[in-house]
Every structure is written in structure tokens, then in C-alpha cells.
Amino acid sequence: MNNAYAAFAARRLVQALVVILLAYVFTFVVVSILPGDPITNVLRDPQNGFSEDEIRQIIAAQGLDQPVLVQLWTSLTRFLTGDFGLSMRSSRPVGTLIAEVLPSTLILASSGFAVALVLATGIAYGTQLVPKRYGQGLLRGFPSLFLSVPNFVIGLVLIHLFGFQLGLFRVIAPNSFWATVFAAIALGIPVSAQIAEVLIANLDHERAQDYAAVARSRGLGPFRLFARHLLKPSSLPVVTIIALTLGELLGGSLITETVFGRTGIGSLVQRSVSTQDLPVLQAVVSLAAVVFVLVNLLADLVYPLLDPRVKLVGAASRRPTTADDGASQAVTP
């Protein structure tokens, strides 16, 4: 087991590093090679007032006259040493720009995640404990509904109801406590649906197992069956889903921050998109990929330790969760 685990861990680690490097290259290709030339567009923008000579100097200084492969190599080696280059708009280090806005996004994303987890467990456990005639069907419909609502709409509805009508928070103070709470709710609702769907599928699966029937035949009531037998095996696989929702949180914060007027990674991306500030975009996207890959690596490494049922066979270490939908089929490698 230990040898098998070490081999598994080593293989996953190498895979993760390869994916991170490739993600960087992929982003580089997308932002620098596709049609349109944002760099000279920005430099030639009359508002910036650079002369032809200055433009040539800047391009030379940034190494933009080098062949693409050389540019890729320098930017990749810099990235690996933690140097993300300079923003094209403000000429400040990209690392500093990101570090400035990161705390705000971390607060939003972590509270959004907390909201998602509470909602998801509430809904999923509710489907097991609430009897059919008291609205179990309604609870089962929630994840699908949550996935059908654009999260900017949730944000706008919350702003309209609680900000304008009830006056709980003011839109012009986006970092106040209540504004953050409602931003977190807007961010968390779509994410909760993904977790809830998998959790419900797992719970239903466990409840149909023989051991559950045995427990019922021994006279266990629905609540004790749930608490003693179903809760643990169906909740453990969620660890890996949680890691996957990270991307959703990052993408969602882009919109949520715009809706609520917060500063953060999302607003930084939006500003960089409208000014075509490529170094910033390259850094944010690659860092998002790094974080995503590392968190999923961690989940993959921790999971076999948590769940003794997982066997590490050959190249394929499959997680036991197999909810039958596209979203979670995407989970198993």
C-alpha cells in the first residue's frame, strides 16, 4: 500500500507539474498569437502619446521583437521564479497588482465557499430527511434551479431586494459587512448546486445499498440510518468535488465583483481585458491554473488516506463517486 501510494503520489505530482507548464504555454499562445495585436494597439493609442522611436524602444526593452519561442522561454523562466513582469498600463509589477487585490477576493471566495457548503449540505441532507409529502421534491429541484440562474442575476436581485428595498447595505460601500455577505451568497449559490447534486447522488446511491436495507430491517429510523450509515460514505467523495468548484469560485468572483462593485482579482481582470493588459491576464490565468491544479492534487493525494475503500490500481486511481451526470463524469480522470 505504501509503495503503491508513493508511486501514485509521484505520478500525480509529475502530472500536475506538466499540466501547470502546459497551461502557461496555452495561455501564452492564446494571449499573444491569436489575431489582433494588442501590444502595439496599446502603444500606438494616441492617448499614450508615444513616438515611433519610443515604441521601438519599449518593444525592444520588453523583448517583444524576439521570436515567439524565445519570448515564451523568457516569460516562462521568469514565471517560474515568481516574476510576472510589468503591467502594460501602469508599468507596475504584476505581482504587486495581484497582491493588492488578492485579500479582497480571498475574503469573497472563502465566504462564498462557506455559503455554498452550508447550502449544499442543507439541501442534500434535507432530501434524505424531509419526507416526500413535505417538499422533498422541492428540495431536489433546487440544484437544477440554482444552476439555471446566471449569478449576476442573483447578485442584482439581492441588491434590489436587500440593498434598495430593505436598505440593509449600500451599493456605494461594497466592502461593508452586509455587502460582502450578499456578494458571498450570490457567488455561493451556483457553486452550492454542484456540490449538492453530487452529494444527493451519493446519498441516494448509499441508501440503495444492501447494508442500508439491513439497517432498516433492524428497525433503524430514517434519521439514525442517515446519521450513522449514510452520512460518512457519501460525504467523503465530496472532497474532490470541492476542489473542482474552486474554478467556479474564481470565475464567479469575476462577475460578482463587477455586480457588487468590489475591487479584487475579478475587477483587475476586467480592467486588464478592457485595456488589453496582457502581462496581467497571463499572470492571473496561469496563477488560477496553478492554484486549481495544486488544490486538486492535494485532494487526490489526501483522498486515498481518508477513504480506505479507494484502491490504487495501476495508472487509474478512480474515485468512488460516480454521480451520473456530465459534471461529475468530468471528475474522474
Partner 1 sequence: MSLLSPTAPVTTTSRLAALKVPPTVQLSFVVIALVIAWSVAPGLFTSHSPINGVPADKLLGPSAAHWFGTDHLGRDLYARVVHGTSSSVSSALIAVVIAAVAGGLIGLLAGFFGGWVDIVLARLVDVLLAIPHFLLAVIIVTALGFDTTNAAIATGISAVAVFARVMRAEVIKTRQAVFVEASFLLGGSRWHILLRHVLPNASRSVLPLAVLQFGLSILVIASLAFLGYGDPPPASDWGLLISIGKDYLKWPWLVYAPAFVTIGTVLSLNRISRWLRQTD
> Applying CB under 8 A, which residues contact partner 1?
15, 18-20, 22-23, 26-27, 30-31, 34-36, 144-145, 147-153, 156-157, 159-160, 164, 246-248, 250-252, 254-255, 258-259, 269-270, 273-274, 276, 281, 284-285, 288-289, 292-293, 324-327, 329-330, 332-333
Is there a contact between 98 and 283 (Cβ–Cβ < 8 Å)?
yes
Q: Which is nearer to partner 1, 5 or 152 (CB)?
A: 152
Minimum Å distance from CB 254 to partner 1? 6
Q: Which is nearer to partner 1, 234 or 296 (CB)?
A: 296
Q: Which is nearer to partner 1, 61 or 137 (CB)?
A: 137
Q: Which is nearest to 140 in space by CA: 197, 194, 186?
A: 197
Q: Which residues contact 43 (CB under 8 A, 6 or more apart)?
A: 50, 55, 58, 59
Cell readout for 78 is: 521568469
Minimum Å distance from CB 283 to partner 1? 12
Minimum Å distance from CB 199 to partner 1? 17
Q: Which is nearer to partner 1, 120 or 254 (CB)?
A: 254
Q: Which residues contact 94 (CB under 8 A, 6 or more apart)?
A: 84, 85, 86, 87, 279, 280, 283
Cell readout for 77 is: 523562466
Is there a contact between 89 and 81 (Cβ–Cβ < 8 Å)?
no
Cell readout for 332 is: 474522474
Minimum Å distance from CB 259 to partner 1? 7
Q: Which is nearer to partner 1, 235 or 270 (CB)?
A: 270
Minimum Å distance from CB 52 to partner 1? 25
Dist. CA 258–CA 265, nearest whole Å? 10
Q: Which is nearer to partner 1, 103 or 333 (CB)?
A: 333
Q: Which is nearer to partner 1, 27 or 128 (CB)?
A: 27
Dist. CA 112–CA 129, nearest whole Å? 25
What kind and span of H or E run contains 137?
Answer: helix 136-148
Minimum Å distance from CB 297 to partner 1? 11
Dist. CA 122–CA 196, nearest whole Å? 9
SS3 150: coil
Minimum Å distance from CB 325 to partner 1? 7
Minimum Å distance from CB 332 to partner 1? 8
Distances (CA, A) of 82 to 16, 93, 98, 282: 18, 11, 12, 13
Cell readout for 301 is: 493525494
Q: Which is nearer to partner 1, 31 or 298 (CB)?
A: 31
* Neighbour tally for 324: CB within 10 Å: 8
